[in-house]
Structure 1
Amino acid sequence: MAFYQKRLSTGWTFKDADDDKTDAWMPVPVVPSSVQQDLIANNKLENPFIGFNELKAHWVHEKAWVYRLAFPQPAPEDMPAGARAALVFDGLDTFATVTLNGQTILKSDNMFVGHRVDITDALQSPQNQEHIQEHILEVRFDAADARACAIRAQHPEHKWIVFNGDTARLGVRKAQYHWGWDWGPHLMTAGIWREVRLEVHSARIADLWPKTTWLDVDSRVANITVLATIQASGWTDLTDLTASFRLSLGGHEIACQDNIPVTNTNANQTVTVEADFQVEDAQLWWPHGYGMQPLYEAAVSLFHRGTRTKTGTGTGTELHSASKTFGIRSAELIQQPDKHGKSFYFRINGVDVFCGGSCWIPADSFLPSIDAERYRKWIELMVAGGQVMIRVWGGGIYEDDAFYDACDQLGVLVWQDFMFGCGNYPVWPAMLDSLRQEAAYNLRRLRHHPSIVVYVGNNEDYQVQESAQLTYDFDDKDPANWLSSDFPARYIYEKLLPDAVAEYAAPGTVYHPGSPWGDGKPTSDATVGDMHQWNVWHGSQEKYQIFDTLGGRFNSEFGMEAFPHMATIDYFVEHAADRYPQSHVVDFHNKADGHERRLATYVTENLRRQTATSTNADFAAYIHLTQVVQAEAMMYAYRGWRRQWGEGDDSDDADASPSRRCGGALLWQLNDCWPTISWSIVDYFLRPKPAFYTVKRALAPLAVGVQRQHHDWSVAHAQPPATSTYALWIASSQPAPLVNANANVTVELRFCSVASGKDLRAPLVFENITVHPNGTTTVIADGDGVIDHRSEPEAHVLCARLLLDGQVVARDVDWPQPLKYLDLADRGLHITVEHQPNEQKQQVLRIRAQKPVKCLVFEERDGVRVSDSAMDIVPGDEQIVTVTGLGDGDAPLAYHYLGQDV
């Protein structure tokens, strides 16, 4: 028989497991779901994202819940003699007991694994086929909080230490952020969180794995091995089966291998069949900005006593077919000794890639609510923002296939953490068995995605070890000793997981034990490995103006908080009386410890508060100030660290190897899981904050940077410096140098008065510059540019522009710090609107100013996108912004800039 599959997504009901009333069952709109979503749909729970409703939702996770489905006995033609039937659960959250017709068929305690349960006997028994019209499937979910606490009590020998949430979470394989984090609520979900289906087969393709076994990047020749795991029922002889493999690109078949016999080599009716292909002129997969993202398709069809002809038709019965897309590319993590210590950067297809991007948390507290379209919109935003890497953080989930599909299609590299975060995890035998299953299941599921370039053991667990002074002797290489130490999780990160990656992942897959981690050295060591730099905001709360001096070889976490836009705040603030920055409900929606003093410190140190005429205007002005702080902080970080990607590229030799002092920067964080105030640069509703745009400009293929020497006004008691030095440079991700032969490269540097808008001295113009490829070109070295404040006491901005053949391609403006000392009112800003006659409803905004403008931010409106925002505008340099999505009758976008009258 042909493979039969039916999704079991509708017809479910659910109830409180302790409620015995006959009318307790409530309808479930659709599965996958969570109990909170289903309670909301039945008007039994208020939206936990609004007001203080999170607190009103805690009763939900204190109870056990039961889901029930009655499904019909399959028709004889769908369940013939000899066929096997299975219930497939792609994800159960978390402590689940599954019964069929009252008989227990599955117990699960790991949210991150799927299950396949054979139910053939229940469906094929004579009494069922003759008398039973339907089958009752029930799934009971115990309260994860209570189970976790019971597990902790059973293991007093373990040191239960965490940075966020309840320590009991460490003993449960559930998304750790459900216990609450410093950016998210405590909402413990339960339910069938991924697809469940009924499958019937006589033979099926249990797994399909296309892997690149050899690649010559220069000649673009690749060997591809496609492995298909075939599973047959006891009544089907594997020797009666043949497999046909096809390799396609862009919908066109480029190679095939037909009629490969399936040979039974074991007693369990499971065998792996493979086909090898040599691909000439291989189309390489690249991260966006470096090339295209061609995706090949590997497909296999399984035939019973038949063949597939060259025209694609089979003479026998096709029992099952499956396909997967994949990309052909090489990926390396380059860790080599150099003058800065030991490098840490990625090389894709032989090309070094500066991995500027973001960290990713789950996009919702209720995971089933994230559909493929929403995933794609997030990744599209990354691409629009010039971000090339996303880090899937270890306290969330192994993401949905749709997430990785979008990264594959759009060219975003994935740094994939395993799901361990901020804790000292236990390793009793049953836990290790569960972790092996978890690693194998997810590596098999994800290994065909070209976007995934590194697997990482955990998030900050080595920092927990350091903080709690747990045992860690890097020179001790005996795993048995690790297991018996008070930091037993080392066994997971340095033995279990690397072994799993070697066995199940694609050949040559990169593994890194933790984030941050570097050869067993302290996690704060800036010379090796990756670093989480939290001495801005957390820690010593350094000034963000020195971000570039605080980085390491790869900066995989750092950040600054900011409020989201007013529309997002209006969503969760119910009452007008609460619309002010320090209101109870606003503070409740910021989960960061000490956020009041930290955010206030950075705002007060850098910006002046405006006097408003109304509470609403004051709130809007404060929101803008926090956003300016975040935008400035991220600009200083990305501008400086990208400069270090090619630091020292100032020789006359355009082919000289650059110094990769900093291999990448992944800010914390791209997104939110609920409407909140956090470190995200795009809020829960996909509304970008101003920092999104400053990062975009810093990561542009060609960027110009100008930065004056930092003067710590706090230490100097607000005394201005006598002199300041500054540097000027070009950052490029272009694969080839820009020289006079292919472009006239010019850099201009102006010295513009903040008060009058006039140039205080003649501009510096540098012509016929050779821009080094994929690195940094120094125009003015550190210390060579000098401002003498005694002869030029007037505060002024340094305005840099990069021009190619007379066209401006990049800008940067360096301002005197702190901004609070500057009077930025009455800037003479002028914006004209031109309507474009096209179907995209585009407007062109032409922006001019008489005096320098700081951080011009446009309103973020759903369905409307602006090409740029958070802009600095200087006199004599008109800038253009394209607005897409505004209708003819729509109000123009509001805007705000620093110092604007409120």
Structure 2
Amino acid sequence: MSAKSGISRSLEKWSFTQVGGGEGTKDGEWLEVSSFPTTVHVELLKLGRIPDPFIGLHEWDVQWIGEKEWVFKTTFDVAQAELAYSNTDLVFDGLDTFATVTLNGEKILKSSNQFLEYRVPVKDYVKVGANEVTIHFESAFLKGRDIEKEHGKLNLWNGDSSRLHVRKAQYNYGWDWGPVIMTVGPWKPITFQAYNNRVADIDIRTDISEALDVKISVDITFAGKKSESAAFSLKGPDGATVASSPAVPTDSGHAKISLDFRPGELKLWYPVGYGDQPLYNVLVELTDENGSIIEVKTQRTAFRRVRIIQDKLVDQEGLTFLFEINNVRIFCGGSNWIPADSFLTTVTSQRYRDWLQLMVDGNQNMVRVWGGGIYEHDAFYDICDELGLLVWQDFMFGCGQYPAYETFVQSIKEEAVQNVKRLRHHPSVVIFAGNNEDYQIAESFKLELDYDDETSDFRKTNFPARYIYEHVLPEVVEGYSDIFYHRGSPYSGHGKPTTDRTLGDIHQWNVWHGSQEPWHNWDILAGRFVSEFGMQGYPNIRTVDYWIGDDKSERFPQSRVCNNHNKADGFERRLELYLMENFKHAFDIESYAYYTQVMQAETLASAYRLWRRNWRGPGREYTAGALVWQINDCWPVTSWAIVDYFLRPKPAYFSIARELKPYTVGMTRKEYQTFSDERTAAFFKIETVLEIWGTNSTLEEKKAKLELSAFDLHSDWTDSWAKEVTLAPNSSTELYKGEAPGLPPRTKKSDVPRTIILSARLLGDDGEVLGRYSNWPEPFKFIKFPSVAELGLKTTIGQDGEVVTLQTLKPIKGIVLDVDGEDVKWSDQAIDLVPRDPQTIRAVGLGGREIKIRFLGDGTA
């Protein structure tokens, strides 16, 4: 709110205390907050009153905070002139979570939902001079237990069951990647506003035809019905006025403007890699009866045609589930997003930008905001708009059998209305999903779930949240936006369970969880849109050393501290299962970190490689997206994240980035056994069949040269061939199927095949490497690697000290680079290197330092 419209100022200079005194503050002791908004843990940590819960076992030394009551208070001055305005409000953008607010001793608000904004008229309570605001926070954990006792215990995965009754970020209760940190406090800004009238809401709707005509309607809501007027204008990306309207009266409390544009008159917004991201501003000027401007309000937006296509497929059952933007069908390669910190008030706009820029730099184009965290800050979505990242937005329900009693539903409805209205103008937001895995909970616990029933109320069943997902939320989304609504993630629809791989989206956890399939089976585990899948990997060793702290006796993989920094059930068995099946590995902390990182990189790259192959063109979009679980962490931990808490990318980040480049090449080698007749078991032939394909995410066909080289790891034998190929636009293209060089048919299983490494490259007209991939025989544990001396690995550092060139005389698998001391920003990791194909890596911050190199068979295992 501008000064012309009245007064708007943030309340500052807060202090806080623990009710009754105790571990945090002495009885009657008030501590000044260091910043605002804030939460109790953040302040106590800065004051040195608690240990860092991210280090050692200190997570468990701060649990008492979430079970105590806390009070925040401040005073603010009000001038006589401010009371002359017809409205004076206190606006609470977010309170975490159960809070009672008093102003000058009068109770003005009782909150119970972390995700709600509260605007409270306070004209009857403010006075000239000093005014005191106090916020009394109850324990959300204890309050949740009381509510659960009243309404009943429900089923869930992760955290305490009482969380299902509490509208608070669910990950605070602990998850299989996060700590139990029950935050409390005023986590978003609080402002005092005085005004006569204001622009309360700008609702921008667009209808874009297949021909890309753009119809825009702008519905403006005012706080009061005043004899004033409002003028509207649309500003282009360069700030110039694109369209405007004469002043319209505001005495009805509403004004509506409609605009029509022919194709090309407005610049359309595209996802990264498919076009530009022009952003427009809708400007509303509110003027009084004398023509003086009393408020100018701006809403940034952009224009794009979004469709979620669910059409029949050629040659396969089911329907597509794909995103089409401005008539362009998009393969969505991206990540799931959890809250960026256990302490949300410490996440700056720059930190959001650094995270999201990492996604773009890694060739990703979609981020899914997961339903167990928060509706993210405005900065998050603003940056996605600017970078061209598509946003899949969950509502905040995660892994639980949520209730649907009346007070809960009413709170949910208001939460949905506020957040849909807040997010609807972002061009990046292209889908709302009702929940995360709640239909899977219903299936797992065999709740009442008849997918053919589309009309019931559901509140009297033991899966009452269907009423929320199938009545409340779709009505809100449809009523307040033009964004597509999907009942849950995963959700199949059409009467099918969430595990159906021919419809909707799936969470494919049969690698790691479930049946614990080999990662090589990703091709037979595909779905129409894989919105979750993953593999754990250790973070950067510097991050491990951070959580270990000063007690170096805990610096081994099985230590109590390292166990506390991996929250996944059965993680040791599962990590070791996949390691044992695939690698010979050592058990010192550096080696263990390395092998889990390479395993994660191989697993996830394989998924993207095989699923992009399924994007085969119109009518054959058998897999239309893959979102890895997960891009980020909320604390230092071993998890499924591909970038750790300190924004240090793991090797998997780079292997994924290679598989999401505009042009890629992929290969499989598979053995097929045929018997000489139907009776024999002893006489057969085993043939190795090689398949090669390429992908092209651009919208034009690409001519290239496919080059295949074969190397015997234990001799000087090599073979190669090349051919001209054409990559079809926006799809994969099959390039070769036939004999694998160096691998002739075998007639006995005791005939161990030669260790043949196959390297494929796609080369452009000028010899530029468009894409490369090396296919190695698996499992890697069977490979007898040459000695380090035999490899002929040569490392050259350029004159600027930040360009590293690697070349070799023998193929090398899984190169990871590191240095002593401060980390380097590497441009690539988890590298496979073959002869006659040197690779160059940027190493920002290397400064000419000596490079440490790890790879499979380097003598450490």
CA drift of 1:263 comes to 3.6
Name which of 676, 686, 703 aligns with 1:722. Answer: 686
Is the 1:141–1:191 contact (alpha carbons within 8 Å) kept by the matching residues of 2? yes
Structure 2 Cα separation of the partners of residues 277 and 527 of structure 1: 39
User: What is the match of residue 678 of structure 1?
Assistant: 639
User: What is the match of residue 802 of structure 1?
Assistant: 762
Name which of 258, 261, 281 aligns with 2:265. Answer: 281
CA drift of 1:80 comes to 4.8
User: What is the match of residue 278 of structure 2?
Assistant: 294
CA drift of 1:711 comes to 8.7
CA drift of 1:871 comes to 0.8
Name which of 299, 308, 316 aligns with 1:333. Answer: 308
CA drift of 1:897 comes to 1.6
1:217-228 correspondence runs (5 A): 218=211, 220-228=212-220
User: What is the match of residue 81 of structure 1?
Assistant: 84
1:578-593 correspondence runs (5 A): 578-593=554-569
CA drift of 1:428 comes to 0.4
Is the 2:817–2:853 contact (alpha carbons within 8 Å) kept by the matching residues of 1? yes
CA drift of 1:228 comes to 2.1
Name which of 372, 395, 414 aligns with 1:437. Answer: 414
CA drift of 1:319 comes to 1.0
Q: 1:582 to 1:278 in 2, by over 3 A?
A: same
Could you state the TM-score of these two structures normalised by the residue count of structure 2? 0.93
User: What is the match of residue 309 of structure 1?
Assistant: none
The answer for unaligned runs of 5 or more in structure 2 is 674-683
Name which of 597, 604, 619 aligns with 1:627. Answer: 597
Q: Which amino acid aligns with 2:340?
A: A
Is the 1:96–1:140 contact (alpha carbons within 8 Å) kept by the matching residues of 2? yes
Q: Which deviations, in whole Å up to 9, do the C-alpha atoms of 1:379-432 show, x marking residues without a partner?
A: 100000011111111111100011111110001100000000101110001111
Matched, 1:895 2:834: no
Name which of 871, 874, 883 aligns with 2:831. Answer: 871
Structure 2 Cα separation of the partners of residues 116 and 777 of structure 1: 56
Q: Which amino acid aligns with 1:380?
A: Q
Is the 2:215–2:258 contact (alpha carbons within 8 Å) kept by the matching residues of 1? no
Q: Which amino acid aligns with 2:325?
A: I
**Secondary structure at the residue paired with 1:180?**
strand
User: What is the match of residue 641 of structure 1?
Assistant: 611
User: What is the match of residue 569 of structure 1?
Assistant: 544
Q: Which amino acid aligns with 1:387?
A: Q
1:430-469 correspondence runs (5 A): 430-469=407-446
**Secondary structure at the residue paired with 1:51?**
coil
Q: Which deviations, in whole Å up to 9, do the C-alpha atoms of 1:712-735 show, x marking residues without a partner?
A: 9xxxxxxx9933212101011010
CA drift of 1:71 comes to 1.1
User: What is the match of residue 398 of structure 1?
Assistant: 375
User: What is the match of residue 742 of structure 1?
Assistant: none
Q: Which amino acid aligns with 2:567?
A: K
Q: 1:579 to 1:5 in 2, by over 3 A?
A: farther
1:239-254 correspondence runs (5 A): 239=227, 241-254=228-241
User: What is the match of residue 835 of structure 1?
Assistant: 799
Structure 1 Cα separation of the partners of residues 6 and 184 of structure 2: 29
Q: 1:288 to 1:393 in 2, by over 3 A?
A: same
User: What is the match of residue 238 of structure 1?
Assistant: 226
Structure 2 Cα separation of the partners of residues 524 and 56 of structure 1: 40
CA drift of 1:831 comes to 1.1
**Secondary structure at the residue paired with 1:608?**
coil
Structure 1 Cα separation of the partners of residues 369 and 478 of structure 2: 20
1:124-135 correspondence runs (5 A): 128-129=127-128, 133-135=129-131
Structure 1 Cα separation of the partners of residues 75 and 415 of structure 2: 30
User: What is the match of residue 726 of structure 2?
Assistant: 770
**Secondary structure at the residue paired with 1:770?**
strand
1:507-656 correspondence runs (5 A): 507=482, 509-519=483-493, 520-574=495-549, 575-610=551-586, 618-646=588-616
Name which of 783, 788, 796 aligns with 1:822. Answer: 783
Q: Which deviations, in whole Å up to 9, do the C-alpha atoms of 1:126-184 show, x marking residues without a partner?
A: xx33xxx311100111001111110011013xx60001111111111111111100000
CA drift of 1:322 comes to 1.2
CA drift of 1:251 comes to 3.3
Q: 1:117 to 1:851 in 2, by over 3 A?
A: same
Structure 2 Cα separation of the partners of residues 878 and 759 of structure 1: 19
Name which of 113, 117, 121 aligns with 1:114. Answer: 117
Is the 1:179–1:187 contact (alpha carbons within 8 Å) kept by the matching residues of 2? yes
CA drift of 1:606 comes to 0.6
CA drift of 1:275 comes to 5.0
CA drift of 1:258 comes to 4.7
User: What is the match of residue 249 of structure 2?
Assistant: 262
CA drift of 1:226 comes to 2.4
Structure 2 Cα separation of the partners of residues 849 and 722 of structure 1: 32
CA drift of 1:250 comes to 2.3
The answer for unaligned runs of 5 or more in structure 1 is 307-315, 612-617, 650-656, 713-719, 740-744, 837-841
Structure 2 Cα separation of the partners of residues 517 and 874 of structure 1: 43
**Secondary structure at the residue paired with 2:462?**
coil
Structure 1 Cα separation of the partners of residues 359 and 461 of structure 2: 42
Q: Which deviations, in whole Å up to 9, do the C-alpha atoms of 1:794-819 show, x marking residues without a partner?
A: 21111000001122111001110011
Q: Which deviations, in whole Å up to 9, do the C-alpha atoms of 1:52-90 show, x marking residues without a partner?
A: 010001010110110001111x2234x152431111111
Matched, 1:193 2:187: yes
Q: 1:151 to 1:457 in 2, by over 3 A?
A: same
Q: 1:107 to 1:783 in 2, by over 3 A?
A: farther
Q: 1:454 to 1:862 in 2, by over 3 A?
A: farther
Structure 1 Cα separation of the partners of residues 469 and 644 of structure 2: 32
Name which of 243, 263, 271 aligns with 2:254. Answer: 271
**Secondary structure at the residue paired with 2:148?**
helix
Q: Which deviations, in whole Å up to 9, do the C-alpha atoms of 1:445-470 show, x marking residues without a partner?
A: 00100001110011100111011111
CA drift of 1:264 comes to 2.1
Q: Which amino acid aligns with 1:622?
A: Y
CA drift of 1:18 comes to 2.2
1:62-101 correspondence runs (5 A): 62-72=67-77, 74-77=78-81, 79-101=82-104
**Secondary structure at the residue paired with 1:116?**
strand
Name which of 706, 710, 719 aligns with 1:751. Answer: 710
CA drift of 1:22 comes to 6.5
1:322-401 correspondence runs (5 A): 322-338=297-313, 339-401=316-378
Q: 1:852 to 1:445 in 2, by over 3 A?
A: same
Is the 1:395–1:459 contact (alpha carbons within 8 Å) kept by the matching residues of 2? yes
CA RMSD of aligned residues (A): 2.1
CA drift of 1:23 comes to 4.5
CA drift of 1:254 comes to 2.8
Is the 1:5–1:197 contact (alpha carbons within 8 Å) kept by the matching residues of 2? no
CA drift of 1:41 comes to 1.7
Is the 1:211–1:226 contact (alpha carbons within 8 Å) kept by the matching residues of 2? yes
Matched length = 831
Q: Which amino acid aligns with 2:38?
A: S
Structure 2 Cα separation of the partners of residues 146 and 710 of structure 1: 59
Structure 2 Cα separation of the partners of residues 590 and 281 of structure 1: 53
Q: Which deviations, in whole Å up to 9, do the C-alpha atoms of 1:429-449 show, x marking residues without a partner?
A: 111111110000000000100
Q: 1:516 to 1:786 in 2, by over 3 A?
A: farther
Structure 1 Cα separation of the partners of residues 79 and 822 of structure 2: 48
Q: 1:250 to 1:892 in 2, by over 3 A?
A: farther
Q: 1:281 to 1:895 in 2, by over 3 A?
A: farther
Name which of 725, 728, 736 aligns with 1:780. Answer: 736
Percent identity (aligned): 41
Matched, 1:206 2:190: no
CA drift of 1:779 comes to 0.8
Could you state the TM-score of these two structures normalised by the residue count of structure 1? 0.89
Q: 1:628 to 1:22 in 2, by over 3 A?
A: closer
CA drift of 1:673 comes to 0.5
Structure 1 Cα separation of the partners of residues 456 and 412 of structure 2: 16
